[in-house]
Amino acid sequence: MNASDTTPERKGGARAEATLSPRRLLFRVAAVLLGLSPLVLLEGGLRLFDLGRPLDTPDPFVGFNRTFPLFERQGAVYRTTRAHAPFIQLQEFPAEKPRNGYRIFCFGGSTVYGHPYLGDTAFPKWLELELAATDPTRAWQAVNCGGVSYASYRIVPLVQEALRHQPDLVILSTGHNEFLEDRTYRALKSRAAWWAWLQGRINSLHTVAWVRGWWSHGRSTTHQVDAGPATGDGFSPTVDTRLNSASGYAAYRRDREWHERVVAQFDESVRRIVAACQAARVPILLVRMGSNLRDCPPFKSEHRAGLAPEREADWQAAVDLAAECEKADPERALRYYREAEAIDGEYALLHYRMARLLDRLGRAAEALAHFQKARDEDICPLRILGALERCLQQIAAETGVPLVDTAALVAARSPEGIPGNDWFVDHVHPNIGGHQLIARALADQMRAGGWVQAGAAWPEDARRETYARHLAALGPAYFADGRRRVEWLENWAQRERLAGEAFPADPRGYARLGFRRIDLGEDEGAWEVLDEALKRDAGLAEMIRRHARELEAEGRADRAAALRSRVEQ
């Protein structure tokens, strides 16, 4: 380019050309709008014909964006929106609350949901039956808002919404999912506010929801061959197995600061829920849930930070020596485990092995302490930790909110106060009898708090009959589906990695495994391990008969009769 080409006149002309005239600018805007018009027309058409509603497709942000309400009015009732499926099951309640109505909203994770079954055998349903039997003059309804994998963080907005629906009581049972949620949904939780807002606005469009629904339907059809039997509740084998992915167990490492941060967030969330209820003058009950201590090894163990390689080798040598003599000489094995503990007392599985040995030796108090230590040192904590339990106790004491300690109730009914497979079908989910026990404890607290009239006592024979009728109406497929969901969960958690650690270590362990299998309808497997229990210790016959009586009290007379018959044989 020549210097003469860059004259002031030419520069001025270029600037003039670069400056759009109003007419040209209007033309360009019109062209852009014309290009967008098909999308605008599509959005308008979908809205006109009520198609592609965002509330009818699963929420892509699983509750973190707070874009979609939990309930939507449909005629004379409010129903759970499909946007929250499959994490929260369908519930409905009258839009106009009956004059004699008493409405309870129950919040928590999959325990409240009723996993491995559905809400028909979860404690909110048993609570509803309990209250209706003792005071039939009122229209009782317990709305199950349990969310699979929901931690306290995501429960806060759900409670705030429920407070607009005239609740008489809120029940909060949470704590098992705090660490799981923080690892699984870290990217969603850490988004900038403006980005979360923009994503929420985009996903509230009918066009986006319609495309997402079409795409999901196409994917489900494509994978139908591998999906196995549909369960109807979202626990399909097509669900991503997060603990089997790169962001699964590998994402969990020893991190004290992270632990403290999650505990602080739990404390803050529960306090927000309590404050919201108290501001609305709605009573709230906190629930301390138990977990399977005796028959559930920790999910992941790691050595303490800074352990030198030579000391780790010494630790491993002591553990290997202990494992070799566990059966023949448990006292000697315990001494080797003590040596390993002195080197590294933060390895969760070490405490579980020590606890099982102490349990066999009849040293229950020491065993319980190590079972709890194994839970609290778990690198992948899928059971409520002691620190979170202490948060609940402190919040209850400071705010005056009642804390229903169902964990203590279950422990009191467990041998030596250590719950296992006799009360839980997996690591945290109670069996049907456990849910019934929780419901009775909640009803007792409601009466003690003066929130409901005491009414007449419910005779045990009438209770059994009501329980039996309710369970019979569910049909055999209900329990078969529950068994499949437990299998799904164990595959999801890769429990086969620790199958040897969970295998019964003594005759009572075989009996508890038999009780668990009876709960899940695995009769053949139940008889196999119960026969082994009696073969090793004939004195366990009374323990098995006692469990048969408990099954009968749960309304499961057929299960009880089969168990008694097996013992007599």
For position 197, what pLDDT does the model report?
A: 53
For position 1, what pLDDT does the model report?
A: 46
Distance CA 424, CA 435 (A): 10
Q: Read off the pLDDT of residues 121-139 as tens digits, 9 standing for 90 and up.
A: 999 999 999 999 999 999 9
Q: Read off the pLDDT of residues 264-288 as tens digits, 9 standing for 90 and up.
A: 999 999 999 999 999 999 999 999 9
The conformation of residue 304, written as its DSSP 8-state character, comes to P
Distance CA 335, CA 315 (A): 13
Report whether pLDDT(231) > 60: no
Q: Which fold has domain 309-376?
A: 1.25.40
Distance CA 100, CA 217 (A): 43
**Which structure tokens are listed for 235?**
């626990």
Hey, do 54-205+236-295+383-473 and 309-376 end up sharing a CATH topology, with the first three levels equal?
Answer: no
Report whether pLDDT(249) > 60: yes
Boundaries of every domain in the chain? 3-48, 54-205+236-295+383-473, 309-376
Amino acid at 85: A
The pLDDT-based confidence of 210 (bands split at 50, 70, 90) is low
Report whether pLDDT(422) > 90: yes
Distance CA 293, CA 95 (A): 43
Distance CA 13, CA 19 (A): 10
For position 223, what pLDDT does the model report?
A: 35
For position 182, what pLDDT does the model report?
A: 60
For position 208, what pLDDT does the model report?
A: 52
Going by C-alpha positions, the residue among 177, 122, 184 that lies closest to residue 152 is: 177
Report whether pLDDT(247) > 60: no
The answer to whether the beta carbons of residues 180 and 119 sit under 8 Å apart is: no
Going by C-alpha positions, the residue among 117, 97, 189 that lies closest to residue 150 is: 189
**Which structure tokens are listed for 139?**
């229209």
For position 560, what pLDDT does the model report?
A: 94
For position 229, what pLDDT does the model report?
A: 32
Q: Read off the pLDDT of residues 432-469 as tens digits, 9 standing for 90 and up.
A: 999 999 999 999 999 998 888 877 789 999 999 999 99
Report the length, in residues, of the chain.
Answer: 569
Which one is predicted more confidently, 180 or 441? Answer: 441
The fraction of the chain above a pLDDT of 90, given in percent, is: 63
Report whether pLDDT(45) > 90: no
Going by C-alpha positions, the residue among 238, 236, 343, 367 that lies closest to residue 294 is: 367
Q: Identify the CATH class of 54-205+236-295+383-473.
A: alpha beta
Distance CA 237, CA 231 (A): 10
**Which structure tokens are listed for 400?**
């005056």
Q: What is the mean pLDDT of residues 487-498?
A: 72
For residue 172, give every residue at least 6 positions away whose Cβ sits within 8 Å of its Cβ, in sequence order, or none.
107, 108, 155, 159, 270, 273, 284, 285, 286, 287
The pLDDT-based confidence of 569 (bands split at 50, 70, 90) is confident
The answer to whether the beta carbons of residues 104 and 167 sit under 8 Å apart is: yes
The answer to whether the beta carbons of residues 403 and 288 sit under 8 Å apart is: yes
Q: Read off the pLDDT of residues 503-547 as tens digits, 9 standing for 90 and up.
A: 998 999 999 999 999 999 899 999 999 999 999 999 999 999 999
Report whether pLDDT(193) > 80: no
For position 194, what pLDDT does the model report?
A: 55
CA atoms within 13 A on the CB side of 258: 15
Q: Read off the pLDDT of residues 317-369 as tens digits, 9 standing for 90 and up.
A: 999 999 999 999 999 999 999 999 999 999 999 999 999 999 999 999 999 99
Which one is predicted more confidently, 526 or 206? Answer: 526
Which one is predicted more confidently, 95 or 84? Answer: 95
Residue with tokens 């279950």: 410
